[in-house]
Structure formats: structure tokens, C-alpha cells
Structure 1
Amino acid sequence: MASIMPPIPRAFFLYGEPILILSGVLNTLLKPTAITSMLPAHLARRPTSDPYPSPLEHLLALQTASIMFLVVCISTAVMLYATNARVVHGLVLSYAIADIPHWASLLYVLGRDGLSQWGTWDTSLWLQFFIPMLTMGIKVGYLTGAFGPDRVDSEGNAKEKSK
């Protein structure tokens, strides 16, 4: 449960991470072309200049939003109800590992050509790189104890609050 965490990671994993993910859900649902529109035009390879999403873009947006919503639900359940530090650490480690394919997929799609044209990137593309760097720092910081120790007993379970 999040109550075992030091204050900064507790606030981040209870509020910050879910809000960031939910904003991605809303952005994807409200603008299904959000993913392709953030890419430089020649890399998006949209078959048309029509501002409406193609059926494929719409499908990918809905599936992406569904998966991101599932992540928020699982995260919230673990942070609110798990009583063992290993479960919480496992979730945070999973989040950190999931950031790696996030960057890898961006680098793959952009390729050498897209990366060399970094001056043409819009804000949303920059955020796709820098927000995960910030969140990775918090995740690694928590896992390494940089924010302080967890409040757990010798078996790794949450300590009871003294009255």
C-alpha cells in the first residue's frame, strides 16, 4: 500500500502517475490522431491530409486508451490495498521496465531521419521523451531508497500506525 512509501513516491504513485496516464487516455480518446500527428509529417505516413482519423488510427487509439486505463486501475488497486512491500516494489519495477520499450518504440519509429530533425518536433513529441525520464527517475529513486526507507516490519508488511 502506498502508506508504506516515503512522501514523494507516495504522492507520485497515488496521484501523479495515474493523472499522467489518464491524461494520455483522454488525449487519445479525444484526438485519435494524437499519435501520428506528433510525428514529423513524412514519418507519420498518413495516407491522407484529412484531419479525421483513419479507421486504423481510431482502432489503435481505442486500444491504447483501454490498456492505459487498465494500468491505472491496477496501479490504484495495488497502491490502495497491497500490504506487502514486495508487491509494491514489483509494481514500481514493472513500471520502470515498461518505460524502456516506450523509448525504444519512439526511437524505432523516428529512426535516424526523425531523430536528426529534432528541431521540428512539437511539444507532445518532446513530452514523450522527457516525462518518462522524470518518472523513471522517481521509480528508480524509490526502488533504490533515495527518498527514504519504506515503513515495513521485518516480514515486509506495512507497519501498523501507532495510536
Structure 2
Amino acid sequence: MASLLPTFPRLVFSVIEPISLVAGFLGVVIDPAWFIAEQIPNAGVVPVNDNSILVAWQLGNLYLLMAFMGIGILYTTSEAKVVRGYLTALWLGDVGHVAFTAYGLGLETLMRPQEWNAMTRGNITFTVFLFAVRSAYFLGMFGPDRPAPVTKKAH
């Protein structure tokens, strides 16, 4: 359960991250054309068609799925090994997310963060923040995991 985690990573992974994922889901569902157009700052007019909207909705659904998985895993397991495995998968996903975003932006846009829009800041800086918190957790910088609560076995 999330209570195994030290306080700061518990707050980040079991509250802030799921909320941000639900917010991402809502942004896609409420206005998929806006979501698509915001992926690359200052890209000009972005053609939006049924295909791109469908892909955006599918991505939004993955955001919601990730929020459900995080809540389901972090609030139900009492095994630190499961929590660490889950966070390791997200750590690897953070690397891929930033790498694909950087590649899609191109070096010129990537090197001008002052020109990034809110979407780009979120895609890069928030993901780097999550990666840093996960890394610090793995390195033990927040202290050890808390022991799992002891439950009585029924006879």
C-alpha cells in the first residue's frame, strides 16, 4: 500500500500523479483538437481529422488507465516488491516519454524552453520531476520504506 512509501514519494505517486493523469485525460476528452494542437508549441495551424482525434482519445484513455493502475496498485498491495516494480516500470516510461517528446519537438524547439507552451512544460518538466522523485526514492534519499502492517490471521 501507499503507506509503505516515505511521506513525500507517497504524496507524489499516490495523489499528485493520479490527479495529473486524470487532468490529462480530461483535457483530451473535453477538447481533443486543442490537445492535438498543443503538442508542439508554435507549430501553427495543425490539421485535425478523425484519425488524430481517435489517437488523442486513445492516449487520453491510457492516461486514465495509468491513474487507475496507480491507485489500484499503491492502495491495495502490502508488498514493497510490487510497489518497487510498479515504480520501476513508470521510471522507464518517464525516460521514453521525455525522449519521444524531445525527438518530436526537435533540437531547436527543445533548446528554447522559454518558448514552450504549458503542454510542453508539462510533458517535459513534470515528467522529469517524476523521474527525479522516483530516482531519489530508489536511491533511498527519502529514507527506508515503512514496514507493512501486520495483520492477524483468522483461525
TM-score using structure 1 length: 0.82
Q: Answer whether contact 2:38 2:119 (CA < 8 A) is retained.
A: no
Distance 1:96 1:45 in 2: 34
Q: Which runs of 5+ in 2 are unaligned?
A: none
2:1 matches 1:6: no
Which residue identity does 2:19 align to in structure 1?
I
Assess, with a 3 A threshold, how the Cα gap between structure 1 residues 85 and 12 changes in structure 2: closer, same or farther.
same
Corresponding residue for 1:36? 37
1:150 to 129, 145, 150: 145
Q: Which runs of 5+ in 1 are unaligned?
A: 48-52, 153-157
Number of aligned residue pairs: 150
Corresponding residue for 1:155? none
1:130 to 125, 129, 135: 125
Q: Answer whether contact 1:107 1:115 (CA < 8 A) is retained.
A: yes
Distance 2:41 2:56 in 1: 19
Distance 2:7 2:114 in 1: 37
SS in 1 for 2:32: coil
Moved over 3 A (4+): 116-120
Corresponding residue for 1:160? 150
Deviates more, 1:141-150 or 1:81-90: 141-150
2:110 to 115, 132, 157: 115
Which residue identity does 2:149 align to in structure 1?
K
Distance 1:13 1:96 in 2: 12
Once the 2 structures are TM-superposed, how far is the Cα of residue 45 of structure 1 from its aligned partner? Answer: 7.0
